[in-house]
């Protein structure tokens, strides 16, 4: 029996990187997985890669009508959610003097507003005792040059988990934050604007990690699986750092 046998899981931001690797892990452990993302072609390819009855639902988590549609589909086809991985997110580099209103709105709309309503609108479908996983970042607890808007948005995620476990206590719903360190995903590599910048950026990241390298998306997905499964049945409101030690030193 898989560790998520007969579970219904929703993974946002599942057409790439950490979300896609997690959808694969969840499905291979027996879950029926609903996968989301904005880009339809990438979503179709990701759903085919995951297989095992995975279902793609295209949408933007910052758009509340898209979230309503997602959960209408889950309600019609599955009736409940056992595991919600609110993972979709992203950011971009801008030093304090260069931050624009547009950059601020884009980052906070996705990472903060989008995560909040992804979880709120799932509440009627979440079973009592469900596992909710939010994706944080080491950028919430350490400083990085030109990354303050992203770091602040992920600090909000940490705060959401601490507070929501109290709001959801009567239903025994667990909420935890998965904190990836540098993970080799299209999203991370896409932060650089040229190949030279990307190489320098990766080398600088690796130098900050005591294990001396970035994580693979599947290593981060293994931590997501732990939080999704009953193996973490008494882990609640915590931050699980899968960061190679980056934020611990």
Ligand X SMILES: NC(=O)c1ccc[n+]([C@@H]2O[C@H](COP(=O)([O-])OP(=O)(O)OC[C@H]3O[C@@H](n4cnc5c(N)ncnc54)[C@H](OP(=O)(O)O)[C@@H]3O)[C@@H](O)[C@H]2O)c1
Q: Which residues does the annotation mark as catalytic?
A: 150
Q: Report the nearest approach of ligand X to the CB of residue 87 (Å).
A: 5
Residue 186 binding ligand X, by CB under 6 A? yes
* Residue 160: how many other CB atoms lie within 10 Å: 21
Burial of residue 243 (number of CB atoms within 10 Å: 0-12, 13-18, 19+): buried
Between CA 147 and CA 91 the distance in angstroms is 8
Window contacting ligand X (CB under 6 A); options: 7-15, 26-34, 125-133, 223-231: 7-15
Smallest Cα–Cα separation from 158: which of 107, 112, 221, 226?
112
Size of the site for ligand X (CB under 6 A): 31
Nearer to ligand X, 121 or 127 (CB): 121
Nearer to ligand X, 61 or 168 (CB): 61
Nearer to ligand X, 131 or 246 (CB): 246
Spell out the SS3 assignment of 50-67.
HCCCCEEEECCCCCHHHH
Nearer to ligand X, 90 or 237 (CB): 90
Nearer to ligand X, 52 or 92 (CB): 92
Between CA 198 and CA 185 the distance in angstroms is 12
Q: Compute the chain's Rg from CA coordinates.
A: 17
Q: Report the nearest approach of ligand X to the CB of residue 98 (Å).
A: 20
Q: Which of 187, 198, 201, 206 binds ligand X (CB under 6 A)?
A: 187
Smallest Cα–Cα separation from 220: which of 197, 175, 187?
187
Residue 19: what are its φ and ψ, rounded to 5°? -65, -45
Between CA 32 and CA 23 the distance in angstroms is 9
Binders of ligand X in range 91-110 (CB under 6 A): 110
Tell me, residue by residue from 209 to 238, as one string, x for binding to ligand X by CB under 6 A and - for no binding: ------------------------------
Q: Which of 10, 18, 57, 84 binds ligand X (CB under 6 A)?
A: 18
Q: Report the nearest approach of ligand X to the CB of residue 33 (Å).
A: 13
Residue 30 binding ligand X, by CB under 6 A? no
237: left (phi over 0), alpha (psi -120 to 50) or beta: left
> Under the rule (CB under 6 A), what is the footprint of ligand X?
12-19, 36-39, 42, 60-62, 87-90, 110, 114, 135, 137, 180, 182-183, 185-188
């Amino acid at each position: 029996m898989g560790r998520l046998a007969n579970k219904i899981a929703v993974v946002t931001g599942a057409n790439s990187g950490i979300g896609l690797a997690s959808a694969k892990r969840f499905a291979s452990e027996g879950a029926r997985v609903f996968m989301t993302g904005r880009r339809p072609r990438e979503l179709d390819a990701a759903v085919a890669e995951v297989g095992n009855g995975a279902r793609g639902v295209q949408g933007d988590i910052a758009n509340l009508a898209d979230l309503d549609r997602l959960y209408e589909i889950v309600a019609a086809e599955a009736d409940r959610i056992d595991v919600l991985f609110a993972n979709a997110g992203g950011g971009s580099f801008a030093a304090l003097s260069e931050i624009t209103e547009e950059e601020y709105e884009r980052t906070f709309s996705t990472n903060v507003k989008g995560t909040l309503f992804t979880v709120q609108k799932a509440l009627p479908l979440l079973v009592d005792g469900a596992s909710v996983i939010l994706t944080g970042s080491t950028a919430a607890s350490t400083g990085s040059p030109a990354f303050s808007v992203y770091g602040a948005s992920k600090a909000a995620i940490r705060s959401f988990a601490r507070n929501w476990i109290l709001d959801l206590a009567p239903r025994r719903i667990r909420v935890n934050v998965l904190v990836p360190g540098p993970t080799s995903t299209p999203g991370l590599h896409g932060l650089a604007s040229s190949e030279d910048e990307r190489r320098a950026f990766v080398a600088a990241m690796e130098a900050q990690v005591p294990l001396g390298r970035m994580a693979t998306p599947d290593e981060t997905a293994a931590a997501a699986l732990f939080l999704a499964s009953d193996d973490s049945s008494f882990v609640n409101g915590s931050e699980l750092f899968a960061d190679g030690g980056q934020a611990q030193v």
